[in-house]
Amino acid sequence: MKKTKKLVLAALFAALACAATMVIRIPTPGTGGYIHPGDAIVILSGVFLGPVYGGLAAGIGSAMSDLLGGYFLYVPITFIIKGAIGYLTGRFFQFVKSKGKSAWAGVIAGGIFDILLVVFGYGICEIFLYGLPAAVGSMFPNLIQGIGGLVISVFLYPVLSAIPDFSYTVGAASHRDK
């Protein structure tokens, strides 16, 4: 894929991650956070763009939503956690595809990375920010958010795979994969 096209798609995924994070917000107790569907785009960034561009798109788009939403303290935390999810998803997706396995395994693994890093990554940070009780209180909502991201990404993967510009991106495979 040409660098310009990949850069444009990375910007698109960053914008989608930001918008999906900001459009639906379900407040959670304890830390003042919220549940959102943006994690699906974070997962799919790694799948369609590969580890580097996917990690950057996921991290920048998600951090931008914190910046625009007034969650300034979370901007660097979100950039690292969501960027890591995009990166790891991209790496694992490429690995799975190189072994001739189903693309679905890569998408599902991305959802599992998302669940683990969102629950434990934010949990560890929130221990230092708010104390243990609030951090533990935010883990269940973060788990729900991660599961939601996994489910939504599984539904969106075949839709995006059917779009020619996405189907030719690094590591992407046809939605008809077994």
How many angstroms separate the CA atoms of 154 and 123, rounded? Answer: 25
Q: What is the pTM of this model?
A: 0.89
Question: What integer pLDDT is reported at residue 30 of this predicted model?
Answer: 65
Question: What integer pLDDT is reported at residue 34 of this predicted model?
Answer: 82
Structure tokens at 82: 């969501």
Structure tokens at 148: 């939601």
- Report, as an integer, the average pLDDT of 154-175: 73
Amino acid at 50: G
How many angstroms separate the CA atoms of 32 and 25, rounded? Answer: 11
* pLDDT at residue 28 greater than cutoff 90: no
How many angstroms separate the CA atoms of 128 and 175, rounded? Answer: 42
* pLDDT at residue 173 greater than cutoff 60: no
Listed by start position, the domains of the chain span: 3-25+36-165
**Cross-strand pairs, 35:** 26
- Give 100-152 pLDDT, tens digit per residue: 888 889 899 999 999 999 999 999 999 999 999 989 988 998 999 999 999 99
Residue 163 is given by DSSP the state S
What is the residue whose two structure tokens read 């960053």?
A: 14
Any residues with CB less than 8 A from the CB of 45 and at least 6 apart, and which?
10, 13, 14, 17, 53, 54, 55, 57, 58, 61, 86, 89, 90
- Report, as an integer, the average pLDDT of 151-156: 94
**Cross-strand pairs, 26:** 35
Structure tokens at 171: 């590591």
Q: Which CATH number is 3-25+36-165's, of 1.10.260.40, 3.40.50.720, 3.90.1150.10, 1.10.1760.20? A: 1.10.1760.20
